[in-house]
Structure 1
Amino acid sequence: MDAMIAYEVVGRDETEAGTPHELRRPSDLLAALADREGEAVEPATALDELETLLPADPACAERQAFRDGNGHAPAPAERAAEAAAGAAAEAPAAARADDPVRMFLRDMGDARPLAREEEIAIAQRIEAGRDAMLAGLCASPTTFAVLAGWREALAAGRTPLRELIELEAAAVELSAAADAAEEGGDGAPQTTLEARLKPETLAALDALLAAHGRLRELRGAARAAELRALGGMVRDLRLRPARIEELAGRVKAAHRRLAALDGRALRLAEAAGIAREAFLRLWDGSEPGAGRLARAAARKGRDAAALRELRAGLAEVRAGIAALEAETGLPAAALRRVHAEVARGEREMRQAKEALTRANLRLVVYLARRLHGRGLALGDLIQEGNIGLMRAVEKFDWRRGFKFATYASWWIRQAMTRAIADQGRTIRIPVHMGETAGQIARARRRAAQVSGREPTPEELAAKLGMPLEKVEAAQRLAREPLSLDAPIAGGEEEDGRIGDLVEDRDAVMPFEAVALAGLREAAGRVLSDLTPREERILRMRFGVGTGAEHTLEEVGRQFGVTRERIRQIEAKALAKLRKSPHGRMLRSFLEG
């Protein structure tokens, strides 16, 4: 995997074209990385990241040649001195330490790739932890009460099967038919898969509930064996991880309530003079345990009032524990034991998952490098790839015979490509056009490095063997949206934003605003030559200062006269305005 990562960082074309010693010069590696990434690369950043991606073995010839630059491995003291000098010459240490990608790459370099046998061992640890957790859950009657509720909701159609189990995995595990893999594959519609698996899931739940009914009659080793068998039956259901978390969450919630009651009993005991060690030895949450605490307090010489207070407080604690025992169907001691088993299994499973995930972080970086430059930063791609890697750890089945990296690559790549499609661009474009735009961008950068100028679309089309129309369409689609809140190029944020330069077609232009204000002022002076009644009638008729024009009939109703009378007053007022000296002022606005 290390060799594959280094090969991909340098680039296949460059590796095939150059000789081994030429490729191992730092300048050639930096140029190849800059050409592949399509962005300016700081020497310190690139050197550190490439060194992290190269094998961690100090005896590796590739790493030594890379650091020395001439194909000869420097001595350990020389390497340490070189690293110290480089760190002193580069950016401040605080800025370097604050870079999340750099920190991730450095931590990732400590992880050692796993052999096939080690992957199988870790996968078996994950299964063992999951089985232990499920066996602990099966010891709680609450688990089967919840399963019975899920079975009823599934049978009634209130809960879809896809929300209860993982359909793709259950299609293989639950169906014994010879054609299960063909009908339950990726090409089968989800509704068809649910219809085929629903009866089998209901039958499996019925068998599980019936087996739990027989558990009450068993004791000792037979009960432990039956619990392990029940855990296997729950595992074969292929419940979704969220459903298993729900079952474990109920046990944890009950244990938190019990721990809170135990804490209250401890405070009462300490107030009565009983040491913590003695309390842990005497108290088990039962009625005899409360009696032992009361007798221990009496031996401490406490007065009758203190003993009554202790007994009253312990009685309240016991009432709460009794209610919790009735709710969970388990005595307090059994609830503590069940929670311990669940927590232990969950812890072992989590530690094994973390080990398998950490050992394959290099694969995430390798795949992120290949998808870099499509709209998401390298750090974001690595983060999305890590989510896909964790999903692959959840789904991995070591019995299928392939290595984990082979299986995880699909999940990592799928998580990255989905993130690019969802977050990479404000305006989404088809995937094939995005790939074409990436090819054109790489060809444009290489041509610009060779010729020292930007290539024309015709030159790019000839170089790539594409139609000119396709190259121009891809270049148009590849343009990034421009934010109106972005500051003006070359200036500070206080100088303004791009949105300030965009014309607002709904806004009134300054010249028009001044002209309108002058017209309003001139109209007021003209109307002042009329009587108040004539001025009001004209204002209402033409909507000057009223917001709307009125009909003759509406104005007549306002003044209590006929519409004909209003028409006569209007004609008389307009005749006055034509002869008024101020009336000539309005002609300039009409002519303008």
Structure 2
Amino acid sequence: MSTTTLDFPLVTLLPGEDTHLALAVEAGVYAATLPERRELRAIVAAGDEARERLWWAGVRTAASLAYRHAARSGLPVDDVLQDACVAVSEAVCTWDCRRGASFTTHVYHLVSFAMQSVGRHRGGSWSSSKGDRRAARVVADEHSRLAERGIRLAPHEIAALTGVSATAAARGATMIVGLPDEPLADPDAALAFHRIDELGTDFLELLHPRHRTMLKLRFGLDGPAHTLQEAAAVLGISSSTALRVHQGALRAARRILEEERTTALRSRGASLDDESCA
């Protein structure tokens, strides 16, 4: 995903509009649980439109925070922006318009909290110092104390309150993890494909195109096997995103292979219990 060319729709909420949209979302969710009727379908549709408008209204705030955090932490912008957008979706679902805070304020806090964890695992070499890790502990401890009192502050606000560097705290909260170069980085990957000679590769057509491409690259089904970094370069994504795609592809493939196994056993009149006892 190229975040430099993204052009988010400009959605500006009028005073009080966020409350009306939230009530429409609630009505749509409730209407969807009732027996289907023509008038209820209109309420559900209105709720979906309201949810989408709230989401786009929050995305610009989230994007601003994500770009700023990526520049400060050195993390891939696409990874940070993805987590920020997920936080906006959570904000749409959890905002209570009756508690007084505006929707954009709720988005700001949820995205800020999401930014605390987005960089805790990243590929690369260790770059934080003992002082950075101390700053991260100070901010984390203060965050816990404030949360117990029902006070929510953004990480940089907590850093300013405790007198530590927000940048140092962000570096200290980052856990560096290496991405293996071996084609079969997942120890269970070979087991997931142990019946590939028997079943063939037709099952790949049942996968999402990105999952299918990832498995072909990682297992060398159309050529040499690729490492995660090489597969990420081919797909045009970051290494950490490639790792998530790879894990999702393995889960989907295992599910399909297991279904094929069950179907084959049933066609022979056997049962899984019979096979396990053999």
Task: State the TM-score, normalizing by the size of structure 1.
Answer: 0.22
**Structure with more of its chain in helix, by fraction:** 1
Between Structure 1 and Structure 2, whose CA radius of gyration is higher? 1
Task: State the TM-score, normalizing by the size of structure 2.
Answer: 0.43
